[in-house]
Chain A
Amino acid sequence: DQQVKQNSPSLSVQEGRISILNCDYTNSMFDYFLWYKKYPAEGPTFLISISSIKDKNEDGRFTVFLNKSAKHLSLHIVPSQPGDSAVYFCAASVSGGSNYKLTFGKGTLLTVNP
């Protein structure tokens, strides 16, 4: 039972345009959401996070939107750059619990074409 789903295995966009990566979750206990970027032969790198008390969080070119009623979040990258080409993972957690466990989606491979 996948509690975090990234239904698009891949996405291709042109440099300078917007990239939108989507993520759905089923566990209503999740209240802390994170996006990670992963290059080949490297570990996941933290990008941006959002708490369930917010519906939007921005950091430079990256914005994460959370729709709690739809159990859906998205990552927007504007403008997209070739260096953004990587696998993007959505992850979710129950904050303040007895442990720190992230549940990940399967990832979306983003390719930004020059």
Chain B
Amino acid sequence: DAGVTQSPTHLIKTRGQHVTLRCSPISGHKSVSWYQQVLGQGPQFIFQYYEKEERGRGNFPDRFSARQFPNYSSELNVNALLLGDSALYLCASSLRGSGVYNSPLHFGNGTRLTVT
């Protein structure tokens, strides 16, 4: 079975531009979450969607937005890119909409975004 897949794997953008990152969850998983990992830090929660509805939002500016499609895939959009948005963006999927023992998050390999 395919795991969580993310595209593209790498991306270079210029300050002020817009970026769209894509994620396909594990088959059967209805929850998709997005995390940002900067160098030397652990992943930080950005958004969670479950059954196409936003379930949670982390402490990120409104330049960050996301959505989930009927097939449970998801997009993360970032507008007006800043140098500080350079990071590894991770998508994760899970069976459940909330944390439940024995239902861990499964992560993709991420999209490495570099803003110059």
Residue ranges of A at the interface with B (Cβ–Cβ < 8 Å): 4, 6, 32, 34, 36, 41-46, 49, 51, 89, 91, 93-107
Pairwise interchain contact B43-A100, C-beta atoms closer than 8 A: no
The residue of chain A having its C-beta at the shortest distance from the C-beta of B33 within the complex is: A100
Interface membership of B107, Cβ < 8 A: yes
Q: A100-B96, A102-B45, A106-B41 are in contact. Are A49 and B101 (CB under 8 A)?
A: yes
Pairwise interchain contact B42-A98, C-beta atoms closer than 8 A: no
| A41: B residues at CB distance < 8 A | 109
Bound CA span A35–B18, Å: 34
Shortest distance from the beta carbon of B70 to any chain A beta carbon, whole Å: 20
Interface membership of B40, Cβ < 8 A: yes
Shortest distance from the beta carbon of B81 to any chain A beta carbon, whole Å: 22
Q: A46-B105, A104-B42 are in contact. Are A98 and B55 (CB under 8 A)?
A: yes
Bound CA span A41–B9, Å: 10
Q: A32-B101, A44-B43, A106-B40 are in contact. Are A100 and B94 (CB under 8 A)?
A: yes
Say which size band chain B's interface belongs to: 20 to 34
For the complex with contacts A100-B97, A102-B105, 16 further pairs of A-B residues with Cβ separation under 8 Å are A42-B109, A43-B90, A49-B102, A49-B104, A51-B101, A89-B42, A93-B99, A96-B99, A98-B55, A98-B98, A99-B50, A100-B31, A100-B48, A100-B96, A102-B45, A107-B41
Q: Which among A32, A36, A42, A102 has the highest number of chain B CB atoms within 10 Å?
A: A102
Chain A facing B: main interface SS: loop
Q: A103-B45, A104-B44 are in contact. Are A43 and B101 (CB under 8 A)?
A: no
Bound CA span A96–B97, Å: 9
Bound CA span A34–B94, Å: 14
Q: Which among A6, A42, A43, A45 has the highest number of chain B CB atoms within 10 Å?
A: A43
| B41: A residues at CB distance < 8 A | 106-107
Bound CA span A57–B64, Å: 37
Pairwise interchain contact B48-A34, C-beta atoms closer than 8 A: no
Pairwise interchain contact B40-A100, C-beta atoms closer than 8 A: no
Interface membership of B21, Cβ < 8 A: no
